[in-house]
Amino acid sequence: MLQYTILLFGPASALIGADRVVVQCSRSYTCDELKAQIVKANPSLETHLQVGRLAVNQGFVAGDASIEPDAEIALITMVSGG
Amino acid sequence: MSVQVRLTDGPLSEMVDMPTTHGSGARIVFDGIVRPMEDGATIEGLDYEAYRPMAEQQLAIIGNDLVEKHGLLMMDIEHSYGFVPNFACSFRLVIDSKHRKEGLKAMDEFIDRLKVDVPIWKRAQ
C-alpha cells in the first residue's frame, strides 16, 4: 500500500488541528485525483481544496500532473503575506 | 541585475545602508506595516506562518521575473515570519531602476503576485 503525506499550513492546519494529512493509495494519483482523495478522507477541508493548490517539491503543479507518493506535497490555500 | 530574498524571524529592523546600484535613477522602497486593527478589531500584532523553502523560492521567482520584464537593476525582498507587533514592518521591497516608471510598475506587480503565489499566512493576535 502506498501513502501520500500532505503538509498543511495556515487556515487549513488550524481547521483540523494538524500540520499534515495522510492519504492511502494503491497507485500514483494525478494532482486533481489526490485533491479529491484528500477531501474524501477529510471532508472539512473541501473549501480549502476548492480554492487551494497543491505544491509538489515546493513548486505549484497542474491538475493533470502525476504525483509520486514520496514527493514533498503541500496544500497551499489562500495566502495572506505582504 | 540581482535579486536578494530573506525571510526574517520577527519584525524587520530599520533599513540598513544599502548603496544604490550603479546606473540607478530611482530607488523605490516599500515597507508593509502591521496595522493596529484587523477586520474591525484591535489586535496586538500578526503572526506569520511561512512554508519557508517554497516561500523563498516563490519570492525569488517573482523577483527575477519582474527584474527581467521591467529591466530593473536590483530588487531586495525581505518578509517576516513569526510574530510582528503593531506598527512594525513585516515586509520590505527595495527596487533600483534606471527610471521611476518601471520601478513603480514592478512594485505594484510584485505585491499583487506575492498575495497570490507566496505561501505565507497571517493570523491576528
Average pLDDT over residues B35-64: 96
pLDDT digits (tens, 9 = 90+) for A27-56: 999 999 999 999 999 999 999 999 999 999
Spatial CB neighbours of B119, under 8 Å, sequence gap ≥ 6: A9, A55, A74, A76, A79, B50, B51, B54, B55, B58
A82 closest CB neighbour out of B32, B57, B119: B32
pLDDT digits (tens, 9 = 90+) for A5-30: 999 999 999 999 999 999 999 999 99
Judging contacts by C-beta atoms under 8 Å, the chain B residues touching residue A77 are 121
Domain holding A24, by residue range, is: 2-76
Spatial CB neighbours of B61, under 8 Å, sequence gap ≥ 6: none
Q: Would B100 be classed as within a structural domain?
A: yes
- Phi/psi class of residue B39: alpha, beta or left (left: φ > 0; alpha: ψ in -120 to 50)? left
Q: Would B17 be classed as within a structural domain?
A: no
Half-sphere exposure of B89 (CA within 13 A, CB side): 15
Distance from the A49 Cα atom to the nearest Cα atom in chain B, whole angstroms: 15
Q: Would A82 be classed as within a structural domain?
A: no
d(CA A25, CA B49): 30
pLDDT value of position B74:
98
pLDDT above 90 for B16: no
Give the domain CATH number at A67: 3.10.20.30
- In this prediction, does ipTM exceed 0.85? yes
Q: Would B62 be classed as within a structural domain?
A: yes
Number of domain units in chain B: 1
Cell of residue B82, nine digits: 513569526
List residues bridging with A75 in a β-sheet: A54
pLDDT value of position B1:
81
Domain holding B119, by residue range, is: 2-11+23-124
Closest residue in A to B32 (Cα) is A82
Give the domain CATH number at B83: 3.90.1170.40
State which amino acid sits at residue B3: V
pLDDT value of position B39:
86
Mutate to test the interface with B, among A6, A7, A8, A9 (most CBs of B within 10 A): A9
Verify whether the Cβ–Cβ distance B50 to A7 is below 8 Å: no
Answer yes or no: are the C-beta atoms of B84 and B34 closer than 8 Å.
yes
Percent of the residues in chain B that have a pLDDT greater than 70, as a whole number: 100
Verify whether the Cβ–Cβ distance B122 to A80 is below 8 Å: yes
Q: pTM of the full predicted structure?
A: 0.95
Q: Would A32 be classed as within a structural domain?
A: yes
Number of domain units in chain A: 1
d(CA B24, CA B31): 20
B119 closest CB neighbour out of A11, A76, A82: A76
Verify whether the Cβ–Cβ distance B51 to A76 is below 8 Å: yes
